[in-house]
Structure 1
Amino acid sequence: MTATETATQTIDITDPATGDPVGRFTPATPSQADSAVATARAALVDWRRTPAAERGAALRSAAAALRAGTPELAEIHQRETGRPRDEAVEAIGAGVSTLEQYAELGPVHRGHSLHGAWSATDLMIPEPRGVVVALTPWNDPVAVACGLLGAALVTGNTVVHKPSERCPHTGRRLGELLAESFPDGVLTTLTGAGETGAHLAGHHDVDVVAHVGGVATGRKIAEATARTGAKTLLENGGNDPLLVDGDVDPRWAAEQAALGAFANAGQVCVSVERIYVHQRIATPFLDALAAAAERWSHRLPPLVDRAHRDAVHEHVRQAVDAGAEPLAGGLVPDGPGAWYPATVLSGCTHEMPVLTEETFGPVAPVAVVRDFDEGLVAAASGRYGLAATVLTSDLAHAHEAYRALPVGTVKVNDVFGGAPGGAAQPRGASGTGFGYGPELLDELTTTKVVHLTAPGSA
C-alpha cells in the first residue's frame, strides 16, 4: 500500500499486491480530534457508572458483531495490508476471542481490603482512568485494537481510537462494528495521519495513551504525555534474537527460524530479527534455512507498501555491501506491488543495521558464534527488549537464557509459543507497560484507597 498525501490533504490507499486503488480518505482535523475527546469525556460520566456486568455484556455483543462482520472486514484487511484472506480471517477471530476474554475478565476485576481497626474497613478500589487514546498498527490492525479497546471499555473507560493511516478502511469498519454495542461517545474511531495521532497524544484532556507501533513515534508520545501527565502504554517493536544451541537438530531449528523470520513477510511485532547459531551446526542450519526460504518465497504476502519495501531492502543492501553473503533472496522483484522474497544473509556482524535494528521484513540475518555463552551475550545486546527465542536441549542453558535475556518474553523451543491470556511487558526501546493479558486491566485502571469507619469510632 502507498499512502501519498495530496494538496487537498487526502491520502490514497493502494493494494500492496497489485498497486490498484483501494480508496482515499481525509485525515481528521485537530478540531475533529478535540471534539472526539470532548465527546468521550462527556460519555465517561455515565459509562464509568455502568455496572461491570453490563459493560461485559456490551463487549460480548461487540464480539458477536465482529464475528458476523468477519467476511467483509477480512476483504478490506487483505486489500489494504496484503494479509492473505485466510490469515486475515484468523486474525479477526483472534480479535473476537480477545473481546470475549475481556468480557469475562472485566466484571471480576477486583480490588483488595486491608485489615485495620475493628470498627473500620480499608478498601483498595479499581476505577477507570478516564479517556483513553488507542493508536494501533497496520500489521495486525484488528487483533491488537481489540485487545486495547476491549480492556479499556470493560473497565469503564471511554476510548478514542485512531488506526494506522496505512489501513484506515479496516480501522473505520472495525470501529463501526464495535460501536453499535455501546452508548454514543463511548467508542469513537478517527481516521487520520501521524499529525492526528500526535495531536491526540498531546491532548490535555486525555488520561491514557496506548500505542503499538514504531520506536520513534513511541518516544514522541512519551515526550508528549510527560507534559500532560497522561499514563503511557507503549509496545514499540524490537530486534528479537533467536539463539540456536549446538545440541539441536539443525533442520528443525531452521524451520523454527524460517517461521519466526518469514511469517506475514516478517511483519510481526515479535518476528525473529537476528539469529545466532552455534558453529557446531552452522553449516547444515544455514543450508536448511536457505532451502526453507526458497519454499517460503512462494507463499509470502507482499510488504505493506513500497516505501516499507525500500526500507527493508536498504538494510539488506547495506549488509551485503559490508560483507554479508545472501544465501537466498535479497533482490527486489520486477512487477507491480510491494513483493519481497524470503532472504537469508550469512556472515552478519553487529556493524550492520540488519543485525542491530528492526528490519520488519522477511529477512533472516545470521551470525555464527563459537559457543552458547558467546551467543547469549550477543543476543542480550542492543537497546530493544521485546522478546527472544532460544532453541536448546540443555535445561541449564534454557534457565540461564531466560534469566539473562533483558526482554519481556522469552520463548524456549517455540518461536511463536504462548498460552491464551498471556501477558508481556516490553523493556528498553521496545516500550513500557503490559499491552495485553489480564494485567492490561490493571494498567487501564487506577486504585483509590478508602478508609471507612463510623462517626466517633476513631
Structure 2
Amino acid sequence: MTTVERPAVLEIRDPADDSLVGSVKAATTEGVQTALAAARRRAPGWAATPAAERGIALKDAARSLRARAGELAVLIESETGKPRDEAEEGVLAGAGTLEQYAELGPVHRGRSLLGDPSATDLMVPEPRGVVVALTPWNDPVAVACGLLGAALVTGNTVVHKPSERCPHTGAWLGNVLAEAFPDDVLQTVQGDGSVGAELAAHPDVDVVAHVGGTAAGRSIAVSAARTDAKALLENGGNDPLVVDAGVDPVWAAEQAAIGAFANSGQICVSVERIHVHQNVADAFLTALVAEAGHRKVAPLVDRRHRDGVHAQVAEAIAQGADPLTGGFVPDGPGAHYPATVLAGCTPGMRVLTEETFGPVAPVTVAADFDQALEQAAAGEYGLAATVLTSSMAHAQRAWRELPAGTVKINNVFGGAPGGAAHPRGASGSGYGYGPELLDEMTQTKVVHLGPPGP
C-alpha cells in the first residue's frame, strides 16, 4: 500500500479562547495496517461469541460511559466548543444507544422458509467481518455509539477513526468502551482525512460506515467499489425549512431559530435554508431577527471551519443578500460567530445550495406554497426537510413530494424513537441508525438442510 503523507501530530486548541487542549499522535500507515490485521484475526472468534454475551459486553460499555459522562463532557466542550450540558446529553444519548443495541442485537433474527417438509430452509444473518467507522466532531459520542454498537453487537470487529477535530474525545471514548470487549475487537486510530482514506481503501475492510461531509463520502464510495466493501454513508445536508401562509410567524421564527442556531448550526439536520410564504415573510423576518438577538451561540469547532462559514456569508452579501443581523467575524480569540439572518437570498448563492454548517439562516420569499415547495425540493442533497403549515393538504403534499430521507411537519426536531431513514442524493445511502442498522452490519445466508440420501 502506498504511504500517505499526513501530519504526525494532531494539535487541538479550545475554540472558545484558542488555548492549547493538547496533541495526539496520528497513526502511521504501518499503524493502520497493524490495526486492521488485528481486527481481521479477531473477527472469527468475536463472530462465534454468543449474541447474548456480545449484548452483555455492550451493556457493560454503556454503564462505564454513563458513570463518566460528566468527565467526558468537559473534554468535548474544550475540543469542539459544544456547551458542557449539551455535550453531556450527547454522551448519555450514546450510552442509551449502546443499551438499545445490547437488547436488539441478541433478538436480531433471520427467517425460516416454507420448503419441502422433509428439509429445513433458513435465512441467517451473519457478521460482515471488519467494520471501519469514521465519525464526526459535532456530536462525537452519540453518533459513534450508534455505529460502534450496531457493528459490535452483530459480531463484527471495529476499527474506529474519530474526527481529527476531537481526537482526545475519540481516544477517551475508545479506551472506555474497549475495556468491555476482548483485545482488538474495538480499536481506535487517530488521524486526519488521509488516515480515513487509507482505512476506507484497505482490502481487508468489509464495511465502511461514515458520517461526515459529502466529498469524503463520495471518495469512500469510490474506494469501497474497488474493494467490494459495503459503504454506509451519511454525508452532508442542505436541509430546507418551508414556512407556509397561515402559520403564526413568531412561532415559525422560534422553530427556525432552533433549527438554524442550535449547536451553532453544527447539526447534521440543521435548518440550512428557509423558504417563507410572502404573506408572512415580513413578520417572520422581524421575529427571526429578535430570536437571533437573544440566543447565546457557542463558538464553532475551530477557526478553519468559521472561515468557511463566513466565506459563504460574505459571498452572499456581495451578491445582494441583506444581513439583518450578524454576518461578521467578531474581534478577539476563539472561533466565535454570531447568529446570522440573511434576507433577500437568491437561487445560486452558496448559502442556499451548499451545506454551511454554521449559525446562519438564509431566507428566500416565495409567492405561494407551490413555489416554496419547489425551492425546497431543489438541489443535490436529501437528508431532511421541515414544513410548517396549518394545511393538512399541504402537509400531505410535502412529505410525499420532498426528496429527503426525513420530512418533519410542524417541528424542526423530534420524532418517535426507533425510526430510520435512507438519505437521498448527495446526502448518502443506507440506514445509519435505528434497528435497521443491524441489517446493514450483517449479511444474509440462505441455508437448505435436506435429509441424507438413501
Asked if these proteins are the same fold (TM beyond 0.5), I'd say yes
Q: Secondary structure at the match of 2:356?
A: coil
Q: Secondary structure at the match of 1:103?
A: helix
In the alignment, the residues of structure 2 paired with residue 379 and residue 83 of structure 1 have an alpha-carbon distance, to the nearest angstrom, of 29
| Counterparts of residues 241-260 of structure 1 (less than 5 Å) | 241-260=240-259
In the alignment, the residues of structure 1 paired with residue 6 and residue 112 of structure 2 have an alpha-carbon distance, to the nearest angstrom, of 59
In the alignment, the residues of structure 2 paired with residue 104 and residue 162 of structure 1 have an alpha-carbon distance, to the nearest angstrom, of 25
What does the per-residue CA deviation read over 1:86-110, in whole Å, with 9 as the maximum and x for residues that have no partner?
Answer: 0110010100110000000000100
| Counterparts of residues 365-380 of structure 1 (less than 5 Å) | 365-380=362-377
Q: Secondary structure at the match of 1:414?
A: coil
In the alignment, the residues of structure 2 paired with residue 227 and residue 429 of structure 1 have an alpha-carbon distance, to the nearest angstrom, of 20
Instruction: Give 1:71 shift.
Output: 1.8
- Structure 1: segments with no counterpart, 5+ residues: 1-5
Moved over 3 A (4+): none
Q: What is the TM-score with the length of structure 1 in the denominator?
A: 0.97
Percentage of matched positions with identical amino acids: 68
Contact 1:271 1:360 in 2 (8 A): yes
In the alignment, the residues of structure 1 paired with residue 240 and residue 7 of structure 2 have an alpha-carbon distance, to the nearest angstrom, of 43
Which residue of the other structure, out of 400, 404, 412, is the alignment partner of 1:403?
400
Q: Secondary structure at the match of 2:373?
A: helix
| Counterparts of residues 29-428 of structure 1 (less than 5 Å) | 29-296=28-295, 299-428=296-425
In the alignment, the residues of structure 1 paired with residue 216 and residue 44 of structure 2 have an alpha-carbon distance, to the nearest angstrom, of 31
In the alignment, the residues of structure 2 paired with residue 454 and residue 154 of structure 1 have an alpha-carbon distance, to the nearest angstrom, of 33
In the alignment, the residues of structure 2 paired with residue 13 and residue 100 of structure 1 have an alpha-carbon distance, to the nearest angstrom, of 31
In the alignment, the residues of structure 2 paired with residue 100 and residue 428 of structure 1 have an alpha-carbon distance, to the nearest angstrom, of 32
Contact 2:6 2:194 in 1 (8 A): no
Instruction: Give 1:115 shift.
Output: 0.5
In the alignment, the residues of structure 1 paired with residue 133 and residue 437 of structure 2 have an alpha-carbon distance, to the nearest angstrom, of 13
- Structure 2: segments with no counterpart, 5+ residues: none
In the alignment, the residues of structure 2 paired with residue 72 and residue 293 of structure 1 have an alpha-carbon distance, to the nearest angstrom, of 31
Contact 1:69 1:177 in 2 (8 A): no
* 1:436 counterpart letter in structure 2: Y
| Alignment match, 1:434 | 431
Contact 2:57 2:180 in 1 (8 A): yes
Contact 1:94 1:143 in 2 (8 A): yes
Instruction: Give 1:257 shift.
Output: 0.2
Q: Secondary structure at the match of 2:280?
A: helix
* 1:445 counterpart letter in structure 2: T
Q: What is the root-mean-square deviation of aligned Cα atoms in Å?
A: 1.1
* 1:175 counterpart letter in structure 2: G
In the alignment, the residues of structure 1 paired with residue 28 and residue 9 of structure 2 have an alpha-carbon distance, to the nearest angstrom, of 12
Number of aligned positions between the proteins: 450
Q: What is the TM-score with the length of structure 2 in the denominator?
A: 0.98
Farther off after superposition, 158-167 or 43-52: 43-52
Q: Structure 1 residues 294, 440: closer, same or farther in 2, change over 3 A?
A: same
Contact 2:6 2:192 in 1 (8 A): no
Instruction: Give 1:72 shift.
Output: 1.6
In the alignment, the residues of structure 1 paired with residue 418 and residue 173 of structure 2 have an alpha-carbon distance, to the nearest angstrom, of 22
Instruction: Give 1:9 shift.
Output: 2.4
Contact 2:337 2:359 in 1 (8 A): yes
In the alignment, the residues of structure 1 paired with residue 50 and residue 348 of structure 2 have an alpha-carbon distance, to the nearest angstrom, of 56
* 1:194 counterpart letter in structure 2: G
In the alignment, the residues of structure 2 paired with residue 384 and residue 193 of structure 1 have an alpha-carbon distance, to the nearest angstrom, of 25
Q: Structure 1 residues 220, 67: closer, same or farther in 2, change over 3 A?
A: same
In the alignment, the residues of structure 1 paired with residue 312 and residue 415 of structure 2 have an alpha-carbon distance, to the nearest angstrom, of 30
